[in-house]
Structure formats: C-alpha cells, structure tokens
A and B are shown apart, each in its own frame.
Chain A
Amino acid sequence: MPVIGKRQTVHLEGVCSVEEAEELLAWLHKHPKGRVHMKECRHLHTAVVQVLLCARRPIAAPPEAPFLRRWVLPALEAALHGESASS
C-alpha cells in the first residue's frame, strides 16, 4: 500500500500506480492542509503526478529517485509557487 495517510502528511512509497491516484485525491480532499512526503517513492504514475499538480500541496520530503527528483519535483514546485505568486 504505497499511499499512507498520517495525520497531516501523506506518504507515497515505492511504485505508485494509477490506482493510487484516486486514493491520494480522496485523502488530499479530506486534508486541505495535508502535505506530501515522497522520500521513499521510486515511481509516480502520471495520474498521481497530475493529482499532485492540481492539488498544489507543500512537499514534506522530496523524492530520491533521480528522474522524480530531477524533473518531476521542479514541475510540482513550479505549480505550487506559480499559483501562489499569481493569486
């Protein structure tokens, strides 16, 4: 079970497949201030990334997997900051 909600932080771990997108969305919806911890995440399915992009939540711990860290994380951060800057 790669999506684990803990109080105000949701942990994404290992390989998050497309099924996890819905679960993550439900959790984020229930926790409007929830943060995302993705240190142990090895792969995020595009659907999960899309949820994160739209939800714009602070990232508690960045992923360590190279592709995620190098390319996906900046996109998530850009979405987070871009929104807060323009609004």
Chain B
Amino acid sequence: MTSLEQQFISESRELLDEATACLLALEQSPGDTESLDGAFRAVHTIKGSSGLFDVPALTRLIHAAEDLLDAVKAGKARLDGDTIDLLLSGMDRVAGWLDALETTGRLPGDADDEGGRFADAIRAAFGASATVPSPAAPSPTPPERGASPAPPGLAADPPAWLAAVPGENLLSAFRRARAGEPLTAVTYRPDPQCFFQGEDPLHLVSQIPEIAALHVATAEAPPPLEDFDPFRCILEIGVLTHAPREAATALFRYIPDQAEITEAPPEALIHPRGEPGAALPDERFAPRLWEQWDGSDMDGVRRSVSTALSMLNSESWTAACLHWIEAELEAGAPRREVVEALLTAAVEQRPPEVPLPPPVPAEPESARPPAPVDESGPGGTPSAAPAGDEPASARRSTTLRVDQANVDALGDLIGELVVAKNSLPFLARRAEHDFGVRELARELKDHYNVIHRIAQAMQGTIMRVQMLPMGQVFQRFPRLVRDISRKLEKNVALAIEGEETEADKNIVEALTDPLTHMVRNSLDHGIEPPAERRAAGKPEQATVRLAARQEGDRVVVEISDDGRGIDVDQVRRSALEKGVMEADALDALEPQQVLQLVFAPGFSTAQAVSDLSGRGVGMDVVRTTVERWGGQIAVESQPGEGTCFRVSLPLTMAVSHVMQVELGDQLFGIPMDEVVETVKMPRDRIVPVKHREAIVLRDQVVPIVRLEQILGLEPAASAPAGGGNAGGDGDGGGRDEEAVLVARVHGRICGLVVDDFHEGTEVILKPLDGILACLSAYSGTALLGDGRVLLVLNLKELL
C-alpha cells in the first residue's frame, strides 16, 4: 500500500464522518445550507481523490451521492428521512470498502454490483423527487447532467486565446492531433485572491504533461505600474496539451470552477497568420490542385503545395494558409473541405489585417465525427463544484499523521527508559555499601535526578500524544441514537457535553462498547414511548445526555436520560429470583445500593428481550470492561425522572502506581488505587471469626485473608507463622505483629496479611500473554529497576 493510498483511506474516513454528521444535522434542520454544503464538500472531495485509485465502485456510489446533494443544493430534490437513510447506508458501505482496501488492497468482489445498486437507488430516489417540481422530466438522469454542466457552448467554441498563440505552436499541435493524439484545451482564470491561498497557478500549469502551447496574459487591461496590486491575480492562462482531458481534470480537481477543460477539435487550432498582399503564384493553382485531388494523386497535391510555398514570402498570409494545408495533407486522411476552406481563405485574401481571420473552422467542424464536445465525459468531471471548494493548501496544518504503532513503540521505549533509570539508585547503593565510594554514589544520585527529570518530561509528552478527545467516541452516537429511536419510534434528542475532554487513546477506544451498550439501554428501556411521556406530563422529546469531564487524574463519563428510571422494587425482585443475593441481605441495602445490583452477573431487568439491547450482553459485561481498564461504574436513578450511569476511568494507562509487598521471598505489586492503608497489627489483635479471621480497625471489623494461602505459596522459612493461627512464638523472633495491607475491593474493605511492605513505585504494566494470559490472579508484570520481575496482583479476581 502506498502512502498516498494510506492517506486517501484515512482522509476519506474523516470525510465520511463529516458527511454523516452533516446529514444528521440536515435531518434536524432541513434548511441548514451550511450542513448541506459541508456534506457536499466532503462527498465531493472523496470522489475527487478516489479517481486516483482503481476503485470504480466507490467512485460511482459517491458520485451518485454527490449528484443527489448537488440537486438538493440547486433546489431540484428534497432530502427526507428515507433518502438520508439511503445516503447513510451508502456511506457505511463506502466505509466498509475503505476497510477492505486497507487490509486487502482492493475492493471486495461484489463491490461493483453493490456500488451500482446503491448508485441506482440513490439516483432513483433523487430522480423521483426531482420529478416532483418538474413533471416534464421523465428520466431520472438528464436533470442531473443538466445540474452539472460544462457550459456546453464553451466546449464547442474554441477558446478565444488560441488566436494569440504563436502559429508554429498551433501547427505542430495540429499535426500531432491529426495523427491521433488527444488534444485538450484548458482555459484557466485563477481566482483573484488565489495568491493569498498559497496558490501558484503557473506552477500548477507547469505540471500539465505534454504542453503544446501556453498562453499567459492579463485578462483585463493592465493598470499602470503605480496602481498595480501585485497580489491580485488578473491573469488568464490558456494551455493546449496532448494529455487526455482526464489528466488535466485531475490536476485541477481542487479548483474546477476556475478552469474550463475541453477536448479541442484539431480544426479549432487553424489560425493562419501572415502579411496580406502576396497572391498565389499562378491562377491555375487551385484548379490544378483539385484535378490532382480528384485523380487521387495525393503526392501531386503535396508537391504542388510545397512548390507554391517555396515561391511565396514565408511571412505572407497566403503562405500561412498553405502551411496549414500542408499540415492537413500530412494527416492520414486529408479532408477536402478543410483544404477547400483554407484555399479559399488564401485566394480571397479577405482578412486584410493580421489578427483573427477565422474563415475556416466553421465548415469542417460539421464534417467531423461527433467526438469533440464531451459534456458528460467519463467521470462527469467536477465541473459542478462549488466556488467554496477548499483549495489543497488550506488543509495544511501543523498536525502530523503518524502511524500509531510508532507512537506506541516510542511510548514503550520511554517506559523502558523510566525503568532503566530506576536502576541507578541501586547502583549508587552498591557503590556506597559494596565498594565504599561515597563520592561516586553521590554523583550517581545527582545524575539519576537529571535523567529522572527528563524521563518524566518525556513521559508527560508521550502521554499527551497518546491522548484523544472523547469526541472521537461520542461522534458515533448521533447516528446511533437517530437510527435506534427511529426504529423504536421514540422521539429522542442527544446532548453531548465535554467532547474535548482528553484521555488515553486506549481508554477512549475501550469506552466505545460500554457506552454504546448503555446508550442502547437508555433508549430501549429508559426512554418511554411518546404516549407514555405525554401521559406522565413530560415533553414528548426525550433527552439522552453524554457528558465527559476530567476529575483529577481520572476522566468521568456520564450517560443520563430523562426516562422512567429504574424501579428499585423490580431490581429487588429480580435479584431474589435470580439468586443474586439473599433476601435478608437485600433488605438491609439502601435503595441506591440495590440499584448497583444491575451490574451483577446474570442480572437483567428487562421484561422482554428486545432486538436492541437484549443480546445476552448485560451490564455485568460493561462493568467488567470498565474495570479491566482500571475504571469504576455506578448508577443513580430517580423513578420517573431518569437514570444516570457514571463511568470513571484513569486518564492514562501508561504508568501504574503499585505498592510492593513481600511474600515468601518474592515481591508482589498491588495497584495503589486499591490500597487504603497499611498497618502493623499485633498478632493477638487478630480475632478468629468462625473459620475466618478479622481485625478491628478504628471500631470497624475488617476481614483479613492471608495472601500466601490464596496464592498457594509455601509458608516462607523466614516467616513460619504463615499458616494457621497457631501463634508464631519461637524463631519468628521479633515477628509478633503482622503486616496488614487494607485494600478496597468491589467497594468492600479487606485486609491482606503479607510478610512485609516495600515502597510504592511507578511501573509500566505489561499484561500477561501467551499461555500465562489465563492466569486471572495477576493483572500483569512489570520490570523493576534492579531487573527483577514484579507480578502485579489482580485483587478483584483474587478475592
């Protein structure tokens, strides 16, 4: 895949999103010309760039969409819900093709058929509505062509500037065109303000291949130098080229309204030029020539012409005409009418002045095969582009497109640097204790501080690079809400707040599925049908709100609706039925605590499994996903007033803070945000409760577990008291107290008995992979400064 293709794909994806957003806005307010222009521009740009690649199906579909939008702009068609549905599904199809193009390098095999079907459907839709205002137009396609004309008259008339092009250029272009090469005329009138947009019209022109003639002149009379504004472009540029029309069209695709590009008939070039006066050498020249012609003696004709030319003043009008005749005779099949017209012009000497003697082209034009005027040529060409089409240079920005893999690799490297830097304090300690060089140790520590500072700055920067605005996730919801509410026949408005809030790319992307699920839930179960809302005295249009904001080092996303709310009693009953909780435990819960049960595995309050949300994916999956990314989720609800889900996630995953604990001779990490406190508890304060143990901490009973038991570790030799509560007198020495780490897991407090505490540290957490990936007791591993591997515990799974 070339980088150009890559760019096309990513750019088109953005443009598709833009078009979708504009279409949705358009549905809300049909008169919104800005959105209409936006959608048209996006589609138009995709079409333009798609022409560079071999994706005819995509171009065809997009072209149909463009024509439809163009007709809407011109007031010839209307957009209703069904048409927008059609356009949106067309956009989806194009997005799918882009994916295929990215992975396989080509469109799927059925793309041509499908593209054709879509294009026909779109054209039919707009043909149908186009015929409403103009009943005289029976077929759907002609009005579209009429809507995007290359002004027909102009293509037929040869551009006026041809008369100013040097004769020898025209002659040689004529020869090549008559030999079968394409001939394209470009009349380019740059926008007067184009210099300010960074354009250089002549540079653009210089990229046209096979230039046969170039005409550059001021389109208006040049002002005197003192009034001259050098930054206003007043030029008219004419180019004749032997490149096919499509090649020129591609170059001017961003400014189609400033350039007229037509296939020029070779006869349009015939502009003889010369001094009047010189007559043909002898009066019988013409009759003799026709005799030879009628006798098919073409060599004789040619000879006659060149003999006459040798006798003529080469600057004369007559000679000029004969030169053109000579050129026509060189062609494979010289045409009598062309020669006749030129001969008449030579004999009659009619145009007494040098400029513009056009006696010829009119006649032979009619004799030509009807190829010249190609109004609806291949691709239709972007002649219908709006004047506001943005020039290529306007898109230049200070942002950089970078492959995410590179950024990730950079992030990993910086992570490793952070870890590597942590080995310096170890080194300093060794220098001091093992080798006794305090001086060196101090210098090492100084250097460590410098590297530490730089590494921190790098970490901060790469973190910002990896941040994405929440808008990336939110932007899919207008479409989702629209589609679902249409399907459910509910009237729902979506309000989005804080889309500029940024968070780690991985987090933002991980949020997509849970958010989708919760929004679906809200629409399906939360929002009442319009009739029910009316009966409850609420506005018929319901609102679903998506709001993101930053709170400290976490990002909080709220999904709320003003629907019927969650029925607490129903949740209680359901929980009981499904055995989520015992009856007496349920009774003890506050209503808001009962609500949290919707996240319990296997819980669903929906009476009927619906098409939309009841897909066997419950809120417990949402919670698991959120928690896997270190997040929390909670729900609040007021019956009759609505429901609000609140998701809180860390801003970044790059660096985790863990507390190190010692157990056996091994170090383990515990995520810092789960640690509540660490206490040293005298062993006699541990009280057995049935077969479990607990401690009393500030008048609160905290159950404790012995981590080594859960992990199945052998009681370490240095800590023989490990096992039961037999009491560790003897060789435990000073160990008459236990190290208890108090953690909060699933909202509950729990004490973990470990051998010792170590300092907290920053680590780059790598998830377990390969055959270790199934060990859910560990959330990952991290490399310590001294090269040891730290296993980080996943307490939510362990307890």
Contacts and interface: CB of A to CB of B under 8 A. Distances in A.
A and B found bound together: yes
Interface string B199-215: 11111001000010011
27 contacts: A18-B195, A21-B230, A21-B231, A25-B228, A25-B230, A28-B225, A29-B225, A44-B202, A45-B200, A45-B203, A46-B195, A46-B202, A46-B235, A47-B233, A49-B202, A50-B234, A51-B228, A51-B230, A53-B217, A53-B222, A54-B218, A54-B225, A54-B228, A71-B211, A72-B202, A75-B214, A75-B215
> Helix, strand, loop or mixed for chain A's interface?
helix
Interface in A27-85: 28-29, 43-47, 49-51, 53-55, 67, 71-72, 74-75, 78-79
B229 to A, nearest CB: 9
Top 7 A-B pairs, shortest CB-CB distance: A21-B230, A54-B222, A71-B214, A75-B216, A46-B202, A46-B201, A67-B206
A75 B217 contact: yes
A67 B201 CA distance: 14
Contacts of B218: 50, 53-54
A64 to B, nearest CB: 15
Contacts of A25: 225, 228, 230
Contacts of A74: 166, 214
B223 A54 contact: yes
Interface in B172-215: 190, 195, 199-203, 206, 211, 214-215
A46 B223 contact: no
B500 to A, nearest CB: 36
Contacts of B166: 74, 78
Contacts of B164: 78
B224 to A, nearest CB: 9
A43 to B, nearest CB: 7
B226 interface: yes
Interface of B is mostly: mixed
A22 B259 CA distance: 26
A26 to B, nearest CB: 9
Chain B interface size band reads: 20 to 34
A25 B190 CA distance: 21
B36 to A, nearest CB: 33
Contacts of B230: 21-22, 24-25, 47, 50-51
A72 B203 CA distance: 11
Nearest to A49: B202
B200 A18 contact: yes
A9 B64 CA distance: 57
Contact of B216 (A21, A24, A49): A49
Nearest to B194: A46
B231 A18 contact: yes
A74 B202 CA distance: 14
A45 B218 CA distance: 15
B230 to A, nearest CB: 4
Contacts of B217: 53, 75, 78-79
Given A46-B233, A71-B211, A72-B216, 13 more contacts: A18-B231, A25-B228, A28-B225, A43-B203, A44-B202, A45-B200, A46-B201, A47-B230, A49-B216, A50-B233, A54-B225, A78-B164, A79-B217
Contacts of B222: 53-54
A36 B120 CA distance: 59
Nearest to B239: A71
Interface in B655-670: none
Contacts of A67: 206
B225 A47 contact: no
A29 B223 CA distance: 13
A21 B195 CA distance: 11
Nearest to B223: A54
Interface string B159-170: 000001010000
Contacts of B226: 29
Nearest to B214: A71
Contacts of B228: 25, 51, 54
Contacts of A45: 200, 202-203
A41 B216 CA distance: 19
Interface string A4-22: 0000000000000010011
Nearest to A22: B230
A28 B233 CA distance: 18
B7 to A, nearest CB: 26
A74 B228 CA distance: 22
Nearest to B207: A67
A28 B224 CA distance: 12
Contacts of B215: 75
Contacts of A49: 202, 216, 235
Nearest to B198: A18
Nearest to A20: B230
A63 B194 CA distance: 25
Interface in B600-644: none
Interface string B97-131: 00000000000000000000000000000000000
A3 to B, nearest CB: 12
Contact of B235 (A18, A50, A55): A50
Contacts of B214: 71-72, 74-75
Contacts of B216: 49, 53, 71-72, 75
Contacts of B190: 46
Interface string B414-442: 00000000000000000000000000000
A73 to B, nearest CB: 10
B274 to A, nearest CB: 15
A25 B226 CA distance: 9
Nearest to A75: B216
A50 B222 CA distance: 10
Contacts of A51: 228, 230
Chain B CB within 10 Å — which of A25, A50, A55, A72 has the most? A50
A47 B195 CA distance: 7
Q: Which of A51, A71, A78 has most chain B Cβ within 10 Å?
A: A71
Nearest to A26: B230
Contacts of A43: 203
A54 B215 CA distance: 15
Contacts of A18: 195, 200, 231
Contacts of B225: 25, 28-29, 54-55
Nearest to A25: B230
Contacts of A53: 216-218, 222, 235
A28 to B, nearest CB: 7
A24 to B, nearest CB: 8
A44 B202 CA distance: 8
A65 B218 CA distance: 23
A68 to B, nearest CB: 9
A13 to B, nearest CB: 18
- Which of A24, A29, A54 counts the most B-chain CB atoms under 10 A from its CB? A54
A43 B223 CA distance: 25
A18 B233 CA distance: 11
Nearest to B231: A47
Nearest to B216: A75
A50 B192 CA distance: 12
Nearest to B166: A74
A49 B235 CA distance: 10
Contacts of B202: 44-46, 49, 72
A28 B228 CA distance: 12
